[in-house]
Structure formats: structure tokens, C-alpha cells
Amino acid sequence: MTKTFRDAGYMTIGLGVLAFQRAQVRRRELTRQLDTQRHELRRQLDHRRQDLETQVTGLRAQLADRTKDLERRIEPLVGQLENQLESGLDRLEQRLPDPARGAVHQARHQAAEVRSQLSQLPPLSQLRGALAGGSAPDGNSG
């Protein structure tokens, strides 16, 4: 009977070892499977990120082109409006008495100087980039 208990004990231990080995094999299989899935997901995410970067680059280029086109269309209109405004102000200035005419003439001259200075500033898009990047419009840090 002792032999039977011993054999039963050995069988129980053997079955336990086999079950443990099976569990280890299954764990390794699951680990490999998860690694494969993780690599595939990473590859897909990288691919999607590259696609999005390409799309964003294209959209930025389109926006820049449309902005330039809009500027080309608006510039002549702004020039026409300025000319009309100036001629209207010229007519108004001629009707004013001398002291008021002098004050209006001086104000218009100062406004023309300010307009000239503003026209020499870099485009707003460059100013935004400089502010976002932390450097001045001339490329120096500020």
C-alpha cells in the first residue's frame, strides 16, 4: 500500500510538473502573440502618422497658396480704395478754412508715414512664426 501511495504521489507531482510546463508554454505563446500584435499596431500607427503629416504639409501648402492668391486679389482693391479716399480727402481739405486745412494736411502726412512704416514690416505669418519660435523677425533671439 505504501508503494501505491508513493506511486500516486509521484503521478500527482508529475501531473503538476506537466501542467506547469504547459502553462509556461502557453504563456510564451501568448507573449509572442502580444508582441506580434504590438509591433503590428506600432507599424500601423507610424503609417497613419506619416499619412497625417503628409496631409498637414499639403494643407499648409494649399493655405499658403490661397493666402498669396488672396493677397494678389486684395492688393489692387486696397490701392483703389486708398486712391478714392485720398482724392475725397483732397476735395474735403480744399473746402476747409486755412487753419483746419493745415491740421488735416499734417494728420494725413503723419498717417502716410505710419502706413509707410507698416508696409516695411514682415508679413504677419512671419511674425507669428517668430513669436511661436521665440526669435525676433530678423532671426535673432529676443
pLDDT per position as a tens digit, 18-60: 999 999 999 999 999 999 999 999 999 999 999 999 999 999 9
3-state secondary structure of 141: strand
- The parent domain of residue 67 ranges over 2-116
Residue spans of beta strands (DSSP E) within the chain = none
- For 115, the enclosing helix (H) or strand (E) is helix 98-119
Rounded Cα distance, 135 and 56, in Å = 24
Number of domains in the chain: 1
- When pLDDT is averaged across residues 69-86 and rounded to a whole number, the result is 90
Q: What pLDDT does 132 receive?
A: 63
137 in any annotated domain: no
126 in any annotated domain: no
- With CA atoms as reference, report the closest residue to 128 among 75, 60, 70: 60
* Block residue for cell numbers 504563456: 27
130 in any annotated domain: no
User: Measured between alpha carbons, how far is residue 30 from residues 5, 25, 41, 54 in Å?
Assistant: 37, 9, 16, 36
134 in any annotated domain: no
pTM for the model stands at 0.49
123 in any annotated domain: no
Q: What is the mean pLDDT of the chain?
A: 87
132 in any annotated domain: no
121 in any annotated domain: no
75 in any annotated domain: yes
